[in-house]
Each structure stands twice: as C-alpha cells, then as structure tokens.
Structure 1
Amino acid sequence: MTIPELITPDRTLCAIEGVSKKRTLEILANTIARAVPSINADEVFRRLIARERLGSTGIGFGIALPHCRMECGSKAIGALITLKQPIEFDAIDGQKVDILFAMLVPENANAEHLDTLSSLARSLNDAGFRDSLRQADSDQALFQAAVS
C-alpha cells in the first residue's frame, strides 16, 4: 500500500504538542479511532505500546513508524503526525523524533504488513520528502505533502 492509500486528511495532524512517546502514541490512537469509529482508541494504544516494548519503531532521521496488528477491516490504516518539538523515542540513531507515521495492519496480512512498512521506510528515508513534511504548516498542507 502507498501513503495515499493509508492516510486521509482527518488522520493527518501537523505541529502538535507531543510531550512524550506515550502521549504521542495516545494521540495517534485517538486520531485513528475518531476517524474510524469501529476502532477502539484504548485497544490501539495498548497494542502500539506493546509493540514499542519489543523495540523502538524509531527508524532514524527523526522518524518513527509505530505499528501493530489488529482487526481493522481488510486493509491497513495509517495516521501521520508531525510534532512542534521533537521527542525522545529511543530511535536507532539516537535522534529525537518529530514525524510519526502509525499503521494498523489486519491480523492476517503478513506479507502486506512487511511490504507496507518497507515502502513507508523507503519514502521516509528520502531527505526531500522528510523536509516537505517538516515544512508543512497546517494539517491540509501536511496531507498534501505526504500524498504528492
């Protein structure tokens, strides 16, 4: 799946106050649940936290890809946020994180899960793409930067 297939404008938030890793994961869970009423925010949050306990999803360059498996229909669901101030995220390169792309993947979508994570990581490893996300000054501008 590509970024335009994963996110929607109502699951894209620009320059929010993240405060901490835990709080940021809670914001992501709530953002997804508000946009997709069949999804429970508390369950998403618990699963994202459980995944982080296995190892940080901070992939470097100020990027994190928190993700988990859960019943969310037949396709993956994403949310994108940028933070006003970078936060500690235990990223592999030790840098603080200011761009987070969360993803929920259906329980049985093994190959799709890995393919989508790989595709996201490739996109987010592009410095120009990261810069365009960081330069966005509104939710709509962030969404447009992400999908174009």
Structure 2
Amino acid sequence: MKFVDLIKPSAIKVINTASSKKRLLHDVADLAMAAYGIDADTAVEALMERESLGPTGVGHGVALPHARIAGIDDVLGVFLLLEKPINFDSVDRQPVDVVFGLFAPEDAGVEHLKALALVSRTLREESVCAKLRANHDPATLYTILTESHSVQAA
C-alpha cells in the first residue's frame, strides 16, 4: 500500500481553527464527503463511536481518527493541517495540529490495518511533520505525503 493509494489532492485542507475535538471530527467528515462522497453524518457518527473506545491522538501533535463505513469500497484518507492546535485528548496530552483521517469499508480487515500502520509510521517521523507544519498549500502537503513516503506498508 502506498500513500498515493490512500489520498487524493482534493482530500487535503488547511484549517485556521477548530473550536473543539468534535468540531474537528465534523471537519474530517465534511472533507471526506467533499472528496469521496462519503455521507458526512455517517462519517461523524462512526468517528465519534471509534473515539469513544479510546482517543486517536497518537502524540506529538498528531491524530489519526479512523472508522469503518458501510458502502465504500476502498480505504480512503483525508488530511487536515490546523493553524492553531487543539486539545484532542491525546496520549501525551499535547494539542493536535496534524490530522490524518482514514475511512475503511466495514469488511476491510487487513487493508485498514496496513493503511493505519503506513500513516502512523510516516507521521511519527519528525522531519515529515516539520515539513507538513511549514507548508500551508494543499498541493505541497499532498506532495510531501505522497512523494517520499510511498514505501510498502507492513
């Protein structure tokens, strides 16, 4: 699996501010609807349900909200960069400004896990996050995500 298989340029957005974690999950769902036609209400509900199991803020300002959605055929990603970090109940209690949302088919199985591993591994690299935070142009963000990080997932 490669990053280019997970996300398309229209699924990347820079947001000035999100007022809360819930609002941010709505922004993730709205972007998924705009980019892939995923029903935003269904996406928000699925993301909130997943968050109730435990926060997807993985630390160092990164969150990986994810959910399974009926009616989609592939694992799909959206990326949001926040100009102002927000509290996301992250494991390290640090505010979040780098958000990669993943949506998988209900029966995705290992493909969902491979995608999550690829995104997690990539966004754990400090150099990648530094480049992402330094750029607010969606086209540049897409290039950063897809160009040098198209290595195979586990």
Task: Give the TM interval when normalised to the shorter protein.
Answer: over 0.9
Between 1:126-135 and 1:1-10, the stretch displaced more is 1-10
SS at match of 2:46: helix
Q: Hey, what's the Cα distance between the residues in 1 that align with 2:102 and 2:11?
A: 11
TM-score (norm 2): 0.91
Note if contact 1:65-1:101 (Cα within 8 Å) is conserved in structure 2. Answer: yes
Match of 1:122 in 2: 121
Note the C-alpha offset of 1:93. 0.9
Structure 2: unaligned runs, 5 residues or longer: 148-154
CA RMSD of aligned residues (A): 1.2
Give the aligned partner of residue 46 of structure 2. 47
User: Cα deviations across residues 100-125 of structure 1 (Å, max 9, x unaligned)?
Assistant: 00000111111111121111111011
SS in 1 for 2:78: strand
For residues 84 and 55 of structure 1, do their structure 2 counterparts lie closer, same or farther at Cα, with a shift above 3 Å needed? same
- TM-score, normalising length: structure 1: 0.94
- The structure 1 segments of at least 4 consecutive aligned residues displaced by more than 3 Å after TM superposition are none
- Partner secondary structure for residue 116 of structure 1: helix
Gaps spanning 5+ residues in structure 1: where? none
Aligned positions, number: 147
Q: Does the Cα contact within 8 Å between 1:14 and 1:136 map onto a contact in 2?
A: no
**Quick check: 1:72–1:104 contact (8 Å CA) kept in 2?**
no
Give the aligned partner of residue 61 of structure 1: 60
Q: Percent identity?
A: 35
Whether the 8 Å CA contact 1:16–1:81 is kept in 2: the answer is no
Matches within 5 A, 1:96-107: 96-107=95-106
Report deviation, 1:71: 2.2
The residue aligned with 1:33 is 33
